[in-house]
């Protein structure tokens, strides 16, 4: 329970006005299956990110020039995936805000990856390919999160729910 109190502090920072709104979420079978698929995609993204960091380290140790953007991109993939796992876990528990953040970032991160890939000479070809794969995976996750079943399991709160405050941090909203 102590850890949940800590997580609720993070939730308050990340959740915005809907931080106290809970929904059925993973209690719906279709939503549970969708979240499991998204988890599998995030695991692949994590492996891709770890592989990228290992490749960057190997290239550096082998004496190749590795630019700062390549280092940063490699590490950012891991940080992005970690944040998405947090949102996925909180959405699984029924926190509406986490589901919305997961939806948002699986839409935004591919756009950023594709935009960076389009800058001539900014990244080596192998990293451009990595970014295209990362973007494609997150686009698939975004499509899964946009299905009717997911929207039904994570209904948008009405105005009254958004104004209501919960009695204590662990209480369902």
In a domain? residue 16: no
Q: What is the pLDDT of residue 161?
A: 54
Structural domains of the chain, count: 1
pLDDT digits (tens, 9 = 90+) for 9-47: 565 555 555 655 577 777 778 889 999 999 999 999 999
Q: What is the pLDDT of residue 171?
A: 44
Q: Are 28 and 153 in contact (CB under 8 A)?
A: yes
Helices 96-117 and 2-15: crossing angle in degrees, nearest 10, is: 60
Range of the domain at 64: 37-153
**Tokens, residue 14:** 């990340």
Closest CA to 87 of 71, 107, 72, 73: 107
Closest CA to 14 of 138, 76, 104: 104
In a domain? residue 2: no
In a domain? residue 12: no
Q: Are 15 and 98 in contact (CB under 8 A)?
A: yes
In a domain? residue 51: yes
In a domain? residue 48: yes
Query: In the predicted model, is pLDDT for residue 170 greater than 50?
Result: no
List C-alpha distances in Å: 60 to 71, 126, 130. Answer: 10, 15, 18
Q: What is the pLDDT of residue 173?
A: 45
Per-residue pLDDT band at 167 (split at 50, 70, 90): very low
pTM of the model: 0.80
In a domain? residue 84: yes
pLDDT digits (tens, 9 = 90+) for 128-166: 999 999 999 999 999 999 999 898 888 887 765 555 544
Residue-averaged pLDDT of the chain:
83
Q: What is the pLDDT of residue 14?
A: 57
Closest CA to 95 of 169, 20, 152, 43: 20
Q: What is the pLDDT of residue 79?
A: 86
In a domain? residue 1: no
In a domain? residue 11: no
Q: What is the mean pLDDT of residues 49-75?
A: 93
Per-residue pLDDT band at 172 (split at 50, 70, 90): very low
Q: Are 144 and 37 in contact (CB under 8 A)?
A: yes
pLDDT digits (tens, 9 = 90+) for 64-113: 999 999 999 989 888 888 889 989 988 998 888 889 999 999 999 999 99
Q: What is the pLDDT of residue 95?
A: 86
Burial annotation 147-171 (CB, 10 A radius, 16+ → b, else e): eeebeebbeebeeebeeeeeeebee
Q: What is the pLDDT of residue 20?
A: 59
């Amino acid at each position: 329970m102590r850890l949940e109190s800590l997580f609720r502090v993070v939730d308050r920072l990340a959740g915005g006005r809907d931080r106290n709104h809970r929904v059925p979420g993973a209690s719906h079978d279709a939503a549970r299956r969708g979240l499991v698929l998204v988890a599998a995609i995030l695991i692949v993204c994590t492996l891709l990110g770890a592989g990228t960091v290992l490749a960057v380290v190997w290239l550096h140790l082998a004496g190749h020039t590795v630019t700062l953007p390549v280092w940063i991109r490699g590490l950012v993939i891991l940080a992005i995936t970690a944040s998405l796992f947090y949102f996925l876990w909180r959405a699984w528990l029924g926190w509406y805000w986490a589901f919305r953040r997961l939806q948002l970032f699986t839409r935004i991160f591919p756009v950023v990856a594709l935009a960076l890939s389009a800058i001539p000479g900014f990244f080596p070809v192998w990293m451009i390919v990595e970014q295209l794969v990362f973007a494609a995976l997150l686009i698939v996750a975004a499509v899964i999160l946009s299905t009717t079943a997911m929207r039904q399991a994570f209904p948008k709160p009405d105005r009254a729910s958004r104004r209501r405050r919960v009695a204590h941090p662990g209480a369902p909203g």
